[in-house]
Amino acid sequence: MSTDIRYNGSGKRDDTAFMAISNVIRNEKRERKRMAQMEKLYEKNRKIIEHYGLEEQLVQLSEECSELSQAAAKLRRTIKGDLDKSAEGKRKADLKMEITDVLILMDQIIPVIGLEKDEVLAMASFKIDRQLVRIKKQENG
């Protein structure tokens, strides 16, 4: 078996292909690790919703959505200058935390109500396209 070693114009070995392959391997390892983490989170969320039940988690989702709304409003008022600008970092951190809380509950509820990822993608695509049409209409006056 022969190895094809390439050299660049200066006579030095060209490791571009090796580097590309190394990057692919590293990315695949990261992706496998990420998928394993996602599977663990899925199982944990499944146990949580099985314990509390759909009704209770819907109440929790409602509360978390309210907190998310409040955090978004506070950040907006901070950016606008109505609230202390020095708190902007904290307001962003609060918003991130509330987004995470809502996403966790959504991950628990989605499988229980039978919402498939393809449905979400189709609905999201429709809504995004619809919003872009609205924007275009606004721009064209």
Q: What is the mean pLDDT of residues 86-98?
A: 96
As a whole number, the mean pLDDT across the chain is 90
pLDDT for res 1: 47
pLDDT for res 9: 60
pTM of the prediction?
Answer: 0.75
pLDDT at 15 exceeding the cut of 80: no
pLDDT for res 24: 84
The 3-class secondary structure across the chain, one letter per residue, is CCCCCCECCCCCECCHHHHHHHHHHHHHHHHHHHHHHHHHHHHHHHHHHHHHCHHHHHHHHHHHHHHHHHHHHHHHHHHHCCCCHHHHHHHHHHHHHHHHHHHHHHHHHHHHHCCCHHHHHHHHHHHHHHHHHHHHHHHHC
